[in-house]
Structures are given as structure tokens and as C-alpha cells.
Amino acid sequence: MQLLKWLLAGLVLLSVIWYLLTLYVQRPGQAFSKDLSKKSAEKKALLVFDPDPFFNLDEIVCTSFAHALNEFNFNAHLRSPSSVNTSLLEGIDLLVLCSNTYNWAPDNGIRSFWENYPNPEGQKTVLITLGGGSTARSRRLMEKAIVLKNADLIGSEEFWAWKPNDEERMDEKNIDVAREMAYEWASTVLDKQFTD
């Protein structure tokens, strides 16, 4: 009987800690604004992510994607949702949504940004889903949200902080593998969509 009380108390404590941790990570991240521009660029891309308070995989993957965008004649604007203004939303050729995964669901910041995105119909959109390793449900939920608003989902991929991004590259740092894979994947998506 005593063991059952200890197990129940431990379960309650674990639930409270999980709840508080969820509240912490789901609060809006710090404002973030960075531009990777080319003078001769003809196209404009907006990459939006809500910075994770523990690990900056979102910034690393988005920056890698932005470098590929530069190679395809894009000005790339990386922003947190709170740093996106109305003028930045004008004339976007490509929107990249980068969603962290918390409790097997997309983060509130990106989900809210997409729900309030003006005129999404036909918008060429790429989805990047990030997490420790269990991101499939989160990815499906965001893909569905994008398609339901009649945006043009041209690519969707997952990258992980803990789960190996490529099991054949286990001797390398997982974050470096994610960075390289994001660049290569971005180049493939952009080549299919934006090469004449």
C-alpha cells in the first residue's frame, strides 16, 4: 500500500513538472530577425520559427535553408513570429514555416502565425518540423493546416536533435548532419520549383 502511495505521488509530481515545462517552452520565444540577402536577388523568402528556449536547432536548420535560398537568387528573411511586420509579408515568393514539436504537436507560435497569415491561398510554402525525434504527428498536423488554407505545400521535412538524422553518419555530430541535410534538401526543393 505504501509503495502505491509513493508511485501515485511520483506520477502526480511528474505530471506537474511536465505541465510546467510545457508552459515554459510554449511561451513566445525571443524576438529574432536576421537577413541573408544578395544584391542581385529577384525573389523573396520569409522563414519563420519561434526560437526554442533550450536548443537552437530551429535557427541552425533555417539558416542552412536560407543559404540554399541565396544560391537560388532569393533574399532570405529569418524571423520569429513577433518580428514579422506587414511590409515583410508583401511579395513573398516562398514562405518557410519551421515548427518545433512539443507534446507531439506543432509549437503554439508557428501554429498561431499560420492561423493568422493573411491571404495564404496559393502561397508556395515549405514546412520544416523539428524535435527530439518523435515529430511525425506534429508534421501531419501542420501539413493539414497548410493544405486546409489552400496554400501550395511544395516540401515538408523533419530534422531531429536527438534521433539520428542519418543512421549512416553516426560518427558525426547530429546537428552538423541536420545542417547539411537541410541545405541539400532545400536545394532539391528549390531546384524543382524555381529553376526555369
pLDDT, tens only, 131-188: 988 899 999 999 999 999 999 999 999 999 999 999 999 999 999 999 999 999 999 9
CATH of 2-194, one of 3.40.50.360, 3.40.140.10, 3.90.1640.10, 2.60.320.10: 3.40.50.360
**Residue 23: pLDDT over 60:** no
Domain boundaries, the chain: 2-194
d(CA 104, CA 39): 40
For residues 74 and 193, the answer to whether their CB atoms sit within 8 Å is: no
- Residue 151's pLDDT is what? 97
In this predicted model, which residue has the larger pLDDT, 144 or 19?
144
Contact call for residues 189 and 162 (beta carbons, < 8 A): no
Please, is 38 exposed, middle or buried when counting C-beta atoms within 10 Å of its C-beta (0-12, 13-18, 19+)? middle
Structure confidence at residue 6 (pLDDT): 79
Whether pLDDT at 41 is above 70:
yes
pLDDT band at 21 (very low <50, low <70, confident <90, very high): low
Strands 94-102 and 43-49 turn out to be parallel
Residue 192 has pLDDT above 70, yes or no: yes
Q: Where are the alpha helices (DSSP H) in the chain?
A: 2-26, 57-71, 108-115, 136-148, 174-194
Can you tell me the mean pLDDT for 97-105? 93
Q: What average pLDDT is seen over the chain?
A: 89
pLDDT at position 54, please? 74
Taking alpha carbons only, the member of 133, 130, 185, 113 closest to residue 154 is 185
Q: Looking at the whole model, is its pTM more than 0.75?
A: yes
| Cα gap 178→57, rounded to integer Å | 8
